[in-house]
Chain A
């Protein structure tokens, strides 16, 4: 069964910095990995879904990469803004494949961008 770990658990940086959030997973026989954003007391917003064939996916200032061989994914945030402050969650398919049987989530990285 999949296990997902996110490092660091918390991160505080000044506005304008580029930053990298890390996610590692144990079962590399997956087709994709998904990154979410969660604001306090709110639901999860899907940021990026990376297919294993893509290796990278970009949306605005966000870029996510996936390296199945090493069991790692990274979320890169360029030119961070205070509005980026949130908890970022990484989720991988619970079992080998595409995640139809559910996702396993990391515990998240709590990000604070200081104005």
Chain B
């Protein structure tokens, strides 16, 4: 089984809808991250969490929120999706200084 899993893997939604992307890990790592990847822009950090009580904004947090339900679960929500949030979203975990990534969720907002 994969150490970092993301659901759904693909999602198409409409402008204005609320959507949640979920991330689970079996690595036992305390730190978790959400990034988005856009063609030509690379990966950018949205939010990160050091533990269930410690949530921090990344460089592009506007329009997003997160929830750390447990050490193993970190969810990303788009409260009202807009087309420029169409991207590939990655969850990552970290121990020491090394980060490990999930397979990604491809989100399309029409």
Contact = CB atoms under 8 A, between A and B. Distances in A.
Interface residues of B, number: 26
B42 A49 contact: no
Contacts of A94: 45, 59
A34 B103 contact: no
Contacts of B45: 94, 102-103
A81 B96 CA distance: 32
A32 interface: yes
A43 B48 contact: no
Contacts of B56: 101
Interface of B: 31, 33, 40-45, 48, 50, 56, 58-59, 90, 92, 94, 96-104, 106
Interface of A: 31-32, 34, 36, 41-46, 49, 51, 89, 91, 93-94, 98-103, 105-108
